[in-house]
Structure 1
Amino acid sequence: MAMVGLFWIAEGDVYVGAKPFGATRGVRLTSEGVVALGEGQSGLYLWEDVHALTVADAPVRSLLRRVGAVTNVALHMAMNAAAMDTVPDRATDTPPTLMVGVETPDGAHELTAYVAAANGYSQTEIDLSRALLSRLTEGAATMATTLAAMAEWGRAWEDGSSRSAERERLLREWVDR
Structure 2
Amino acid sequence: MAMVGLFWVTADAVYVGSPPAADGGCVRLTAAGLDAVGPDDSRSWSWEELRSAVVADVPVEGSSGRAAKLLGSVAAAAVGAFLGEGPRAMVLRLETRHGPVEVTVHAAAAGGYGADEAALSQDLLARFVAGTADPGVVAAWGREHASNGTPKTAERAALLRSWAQG
CA distance in 1, matches of 2:40, 2:88: 17
Aligned twin of 1:153: 141
> For residues 98-177 of structure 1, what are the structure 2 equivalents within 5 Å?
98-139=90-131, 142-143=132-133, 146-157=134-145, 158-177=147-166
Q: What SS class does the counterpart of residue 155 from structure 1 fall into?
A: helix
Q: For residues 2 and 58 of structure 2, what CA distance do their matches in structure 1 show?
A: 18
Residue identity in the other structure for 1:38 = G
For 1:112, the aligned partner's letter is T
Letter in 2 for 1:118: A
Q: Under a length normalisation based on structure 1, what TM-score does the superposition of the two structures give?
A: 0.82
* Cα RMSD after superposing both structures: 2.1
Instruction: For residue 92 of structure 1, report the CA deviation from its aligned partner.
Output: 2.4
Please say if residues 25 and 114 of structure 1, whose CA atoms lie closer than 8 Å, have aligned partners that are also in contact. no
Deviates more, 1:37-46 or 1:59-68: 59-68
Corresponding position of 2:52: 52
Rg larger in structure: 1
TM-score (norm 2): 0.87
- Percent identity, aligned pairs only, is 38
Structure 1 gaps, min length 5:
77-87
- Displacement of 1:41 in angstroms is 5.0
Residues 7-18 of structure 1 correspond to what in structure 2 (within 5 A)?
7-18=7-18
Q: State how far apart, in whole Å, the 1-side matches of 2:162 and 2:34 are.
A: 22
Matched to 1:70, the amino acid is V
2:36 and 2:103 in contact (8 A); partners too: yes
Tell me the secondary structure at the aligned position of residue 51 of structure 1.
strand
| One-letter amino acid of the counterpart of residue 157, structure 2 | E
Counterpart residue identity of residue 47, structure 2 = W
Aligned to 1:37: 37
Q: Deviations over 1:47-68 (max 9, x none)?
A: 1111101110110012376554
- 2: CA distance between counterparts of 1:175 and 1:7? 13
SS in 1 for 2:130: coil
Contact 2:19 2:26 in 1 (8 A): yes
- Equivalent pairs, count: 161
Contact 2:3 2:150 in 1 (8 A): yes
Q: Does 1:90 align with 2:78?
A: no
Question: 2: CA distance between counterparts of 1:99 and 1:112?
Answer: 5
Q: Which range moved further: 57-66 or 129-138?
A: 57-66
Consecutive unaligned residues in structure 2, runs of 5 or more:
none
Q: For 2:23, what is the secondary structure of its paired residue?
A: coil
